Structure 1
Amino acid sequence: MKKHNFSAGPSILPQEVLLKASEAIVDYNNSGLSLIEISHRSKDFVEIMENARALALELLGLEGKGYTALFLQGGASTQFIMTALNLLNKKAGYINTGAWSGKAIKEAKKVGEIIEVGSSADANFNYIPKGFEIPSDLDYLHYTTNNTIFGTQFKDIPQTNVPLVCDMSSDIFSRVLDYSKFSLIYAGAQKNMGPAGTTLVVVKDDILGKVSRDIPSILDYQLHIKAGSMYNTPPVFPVYTSMLTLEWLKGLGGIAGIEAENEKKSTVMYSEIDLNPLFKGFAAKEDRSPMNATFNLTDESLKDTFETMLKEAGISGVNGHRSVGGYRASMYNALPLDSVKALVEVMSELEAKA
């Protein structure tokens, strides 16, 4: 039985992408060689890298607007320090909305002065801070658009005249935004784009080259740009699979097309959470993430029954993070609406049994 995969990451990928990627592992482009055997300097892979980078810019509406897309290694966690090394001169501001922004703050403090301009730590990060003031003398403002663990999402881009740096690891390519308002975006591939192993970085070229420090070569965006995102051996398979996923997304009508599907899924999911007395949502309603719905049972004595029903229905990956508990339904781009309906049906059946 094909399972309904609600994993928070690494997460579900489109079936057609998995099939094409698996074929390439055996024989890429009828070359007689596996994709993971060919040189990253070969014409075949250079075309893959260039196409993946171009697709990222095209889908984000940043093509020809002075941005460069890179596929790097080290996960989004490496970007916590890399952004600071490349951009932080005197002082940067961070909005703290959970585990990942907290780690970004910790790393950036090793480079320079960091101030928290907003935080939702007082309520275990179940909401998005609002009404905060952003100093005008910041080198940049950093925030995380979507919080996988707590199930919250910024609905609007903060209004500021300082450069915006954003971790979009768990909602990249999921909704229409004016991406030109950001000076740097980074996102681990393993939620909406590909398998674990590569990280997309989209950087506005004119924000670089303004720090005086000697940046380690492997952490210098300018060197990666100069080398065409192949300063060192790139993660060949994750980049190829990400390219396939971006092609799949373009075929669906791009970000606008997938946003409509994501809205359908989140509406079905949150309607059940709100109407079913056996469940209670964790995140503040106005800040709920369409990517990660977090919720708890109102009667813990039903836990074993509910989880047995989930298993029997082929539903996987809905256990909540230990810092929140309960359950988390991750509804990334590739998750079909039918999977959400299957989960909601189990939740409804539990109510009927109780």
Structure 2
Amino acid sequence: MTRGYNFCSGPAMLPGAVMQRAQEELPDWQGTGMSVMELSHRSPEFVSVLEGAEARLRTLMNIPEDYAVLFMQGGATLQFSCVPMNLMSRGGAAEFLDTGAWSVKAIKEAGRYGETRVLASTKDEGYRRAVRADEFSVGADAAYLHYTPNETIGGVEFNYVPETGDVPLVADMSSCILSRPINVEDFDLIYAGAQKNIGPAGLTLVIVRKSLLGEVMHDTPSLLNYKAQADNGSMVNTPPTFAIYLAGLVFDWLEGQGGVRAIEGINAEKAALLYDAIDRSEFYRNPIALEHRSRMNVPFILADEQLNDRFLAEAGEAGLYNLQGHRSVGGMRASIYNAMPLAGVRGLVDFMKDFEQRHG
């Protein structure tokens, strides 16, 4: 069997070496006579899997000890509720920067638990850029400021980290975590669905400053209480054991690539190659402002959109999968997360040039 290149925004492509190792270990993990899927989550064997994954993530991201690392479930979408439940009891409104579909969802969910304020939005411009730093001012009484550094659907990426003073900064990093180095201490809470740069769907990472733990709304379920999860080693209930195991393998793989700094260089090269092909063409175009183009999610539109179905069909025949844009946007979108090799992007660019020659 020949594997193709999966450009899906999530669940996304996993590194081939990770898939192979998981296949080899699937029936018998490290001589236990059981699959890792069958291990008790409280057994010493699985605890070593979880602790090892956390240790490697802390190394990769240089996470300080005064931050808790939580392995949770429910996707990043559940965090739209977890965040206000855990942070809004201190008083003040939850403030937001609105730059696309995922920002909108986070704002809507937070509104169930208290006051929300949208400090700035690019909706009127079709979400074709991020909010600029000079377009908003954080309220001193805010419970937190939430933003989405990379909007998966629109392909918009912030090129700076908002400054919030003493107000906690919350970031939904689902599409950009581990794609480039960050200073974790610039943030108070980071969360990310795993199915893009970390592992399979079903796991959500939360990295939270420990000083924020404990002041939750009184009716917050234990599963959604960050302090309860931290106090119980992410085992208030049975965690997604196989997803955590695979995440640990991805962290191993990323270390083998040279870490986050090295993968940043590869990601920059992939994005530059694809954007250059789009910009040099009269057949394709990218609608996002140059300074806010995402390295992870690259939308592009064909000059003749009646060719969309043919483009997708022929791309699939060439082993280039899941290039259709989100249903709310249309066009095409190539998600080129960490696991997408440079060869995959080169293959896409070559196909795009050939398609243009035949249909342009």
TM over 0.5, yes or no? yes
Q: Distance in 2 between matches of 1:234 and 1:2?
A: 30
Q: Distance in 2 between matches of 1:103 and 1:305?
A: 32
Matched with 2:205 is: 200
Which stretch shifts more, 78-87 or 128-137?
A: 128-137
Amino acid in the other structure paired with 1:70 = L
Matched with 1:274 is: 279
> SS where residue 172 of structure 1 aligns?
coil
Matched with 1:262 is: 267
Q: Distance in 1 between matches of 2:299 and 2:217?
A: 43
Instruction: Summarize deviations over 1:195-245 as a string: whole Å, max 9, x none.
Output: 001100001001122356342211111011010111110101000000110
1:284, distance to aligned residue in structure 2 (A): 1.6
> SS where residue 29 of structure 1 aligns?
coil
> SS where residue 282 of structure 1 aligns?
coil
Q: Distance in 1 between matches of 2:191 and 2:310?
A: 40
Percent of aligned pairs with the same amino acid: 45
Q: Counterparts in 2 of 1:170-181, with a 5 A limit?
A: 170-181=175-186
1:270, distance to aligned residue in structure 2 (A): 0.2
Q: Distance in 2 between matches of 1:310 and 1:177?
A: 35
> SS where residue 223 of structure 1 aligns?
helix
Given that 2:71 and 2:206 are in contact with CA atoms closer than 8 Å, whether structure 1 keeps it comes out as: yes
Q: Does 1:132 align with 2:133?
A: no
Matched with 1:330 is: 335
Q: Counterparts in 2 of 1:33-72, with a 5 A limit?
A: 33-64=34-65, 66-72=66-72
1:90, distance to aligned residue in structure 2 (A): 2.5
Instruction: Summarize deviations over 1:144-189 as a string: whole Å, max 9, x none.
Output: 1111100011111011211101110011100112121111100000
Amino acid in the other structure paired with 2:59 = E
Matched with 1:286 is: 291
TM-score w.r.t. length of structure 1: 0.97
Instruction: Summarize deviations over 1:50-87 as a string: whole Å, max 9, x none.
Output: 111122222111133x0110111111111110010000
Aligned counterpart in structure 1 of residue 300 of structure 2, from 270, 274, 295: 295
Q: Distance in 2 between matches of 1:274 and 1:342?
A: 17
> SS where residue 76 of structure 1 aligns?
helix
Given that 1:73 and 1:199 are in contact with CA atoms closer than 8 Å, whether structure 2 keeps it comes out as: yes
Q: Distance in 2 between matches of 1:301 and 1:79?
A: 38
Structure 2: tracts of 5 or more residues without a match: none
Q: Does 1:11 align with 2:25?
A: no
> SS where residue 36 of structure 2 aligns?
coil
Given that 1:187 and 1:200 are in contact with CA atoms closer than 8 Å, whether structure 2 keeps it comes out as: yes
Q: Does 1:108 align with 2:110?
A: yes
Q: Distance in 2 between matches of 1:246 and 1:195?
A: 13
Q: Distance in 1 between matches of 2:273 and 2:47?
A: 42
1:305, distance to aligned residue in structure 2 (A): 4.1
Matched with 1:145 is: 149
Instruction: Summarize deviations over 1:93-141 as a string: whole Å, max 9, x none.
Output: 0111111111111111111111001111112212111222222221110
Matched with 1:82 is: 82
> SS where residue 59 of structure 2 aligns?
helix
Q: Distance in 1 between matches of 2:229 and 2:40?
A: 18
1:258, distance to aligned residue in structure 2 (A): 0.4
Matched with 1:241 is: 246
> SS where residue 38 of structure 2 aligns?
coil
Amino acid in the other structure paired with 1:4 = Y
Q: Distance in 1 between matches of 2:50 and 2:217?
A: 31
Q: Distance in 2 between matches of 1:316 and 1:222?
A: 41
Given that 1:119 and 1:129 are in contact with CA atoms closer than 8 Å, whether structure 2 keeps it comes out as: yes
Q: Distance in 1 between matches of 2:222 and 2:36?
A: 28
TM-score w.r.t. length of structure 2: 0.95
> SS where residue 160 of structure 1 aligns?
coil
1:351, distance to aligned residue in structure 2 (A): 2.5
Q: Distance in 2 between matches of 1:201 and 1:280?
A: 36
Q: Distance in 2 between matches of 1:264 and 1:147?
A: 20
Aligned counterpart in structure 2 of residue 215 of structure 1, from 215, 220, 225: 220
1:304, distance to aligned residue in structure 2 (A): 4.3
